[in-house]
Amino acid sequence: MSAYPNAAAVTADSESADPCCDAPLPVLGRDVTVPLVTGGEVTYAALDYAASAPALQRVWDDVAAYAPYYGSVHRGAGYLSQLSTDLFENSRATVAEFLDCRPGDQVVFTRSTTDSLNLLAQALPADCQVFVFETEHHASLLPWRDARVTYLDAPRTPAEAVETLERALADRDPHGPALVCVTGASNVTGELWPVRELAAAAHAHGARIVLDAAQLAPHHPVSVRELDVDWVAFSGHKLYAPFGSGVLAGRADWLQDSEPYLAGGGASRKVARRADGGVDVEWHTTSARHEAGSPNVIGVYSIASACKALTEAGFDSLVARERHLIAKVREGLAEVPEVRVLSLFGDDAPRVGVISFVVEGWNSSHFAAALSAEYGIGVRDGLFCAHPLVRTLLGSDPQDPGECGAPEAAPGERSLNAIRVSFGAGTPDEHVERFVGAVKELVRDGAQWKYRTEDGRCVPDRG
């Protein structure tokens, strides 16, 4: 029972949903209009959820309701500090419930998925071997700088992914610590990975596994127990809570045995001077060990609010509607012969609302710029911070030029990049319908405007 019962009062009325919005969970900015280079304005179609999803209206309302009560967490005796501390720790419990954590698991609040996985990388035991597929987002691919890393080739089926991992683990030193890092859903293809089977393979060979759920958690339920993963990481900004917080949740032992991720107030339980003039520090063994500094209580509360909103909406209905949107997009793109959708596991693979493609005869940056400037549609172009995977899918030489999110090629020039459309619980049908219609029109008729490269981006030529 909370010592501060009025903490519940900072939660906004959940009946603020827009009855005119056909998306199951209204998002902030759904009525924003943007200018078109061809004249006039149109409601912005935000179809870049895989980069950052818009804030749920519910999340924004909850944060706004709490903001007047903001106070320091774990620091003050005043009412607002105590209320904020209560809200912060209740949010930790909400996230643990959302992830179906085990008794004894810790929920550590971080800045993002990238931050969470770097924290875990810093906590690895000595001489730990890490196994990671080349298909991972850079947040999962790159943090393991002090470990022995085995990079696994991209599999072409879920079964091949499990077989590849099993072979690699069978060849490792059976006595040393090992960690497998795998995504739950690809940020490039949207395809779901066989997480439970990969976890079973890891554990059968004495290894542990961390799940990058950045693209999975906003679309599907994530159960630490059912998937039998040791840790899970995700970001608030992809979970409709873009206020600068992330989560690492899972087993406590490696986290307790490692040095604090950051040294400072909050992580330390006791600090005392020694007779020789030095300092002795006793660190916390709870989640606070890796949460030094004043915590981002608004970011943490926004994640908890999003977790509650998704749970209350019901993942069964959210998944069913998203499959409807996925089918609309894929069927529409299939009607355009010049479009090639990128896939590892094939057309029938289950997936979330993330689809990447290339268009014959078009530079992807040029195509994405035209979608934005002429149709008010926001998508992503580039290599999506997953360079090895996109290079594999495009069949390109690893030395081909390409920069994450900022291709340097001019319109019409061949370059290494693709287009990604992504959507979720806040996406109205009209947005994906407009997108499909725009793709067909651009391929058939071409762009109505001229474009040029400016600071590495393709932009309308207004000169």
For helices 315-334 and 297-313, angle between their N-to-C axes, nearest 10 degrees: 80
Cβ neighbours around 220 below 10 Å, total = 19
Confidence band for 12, pLDDT divided at 50, 70 and 90:
low
pLDDT digits (tens, 9 = 90+) for 120-154: 999 999 999 999 999 999 999 999 998 999 999 99
For helices 364-375 and 429-445, angle between their N-to-C axes, nearest 10 degrees: 120
**Structure token digits, residue 438:** 């725009």
Residue 457: the pLDDT is 86
pLDDT digits (tens, 9 = 90+) for 173-203: 777 999 999 999 999 999 999 999 999 999 9
Q: Which residues have a Cβ under 8 Å from the Cβ of 383 and sit 6 or more positions away?
A: 390, 391, 402, 403, 404, 405, 407, 416, 417, 418
What is the C-alpha separation between 73 and 98, in angstroms, rounded? 22
Query: Residue 241 carries which DSSP code?
Result: -
**The pTM is what?**
0.92
pLDDT digits (tens, 9 = 90+) for 110-125: 999 999 999 999 999 9
Confidence band for 401, pLDDT divided at 50, 70 and 90:
very low
Place of tokens 């090639």: 340
Q: Which of 181, 385, 404, 458 is catalytic?
A: 385
To the query of whether residue 21 is one of the catalytic residues in this protein, the response is no
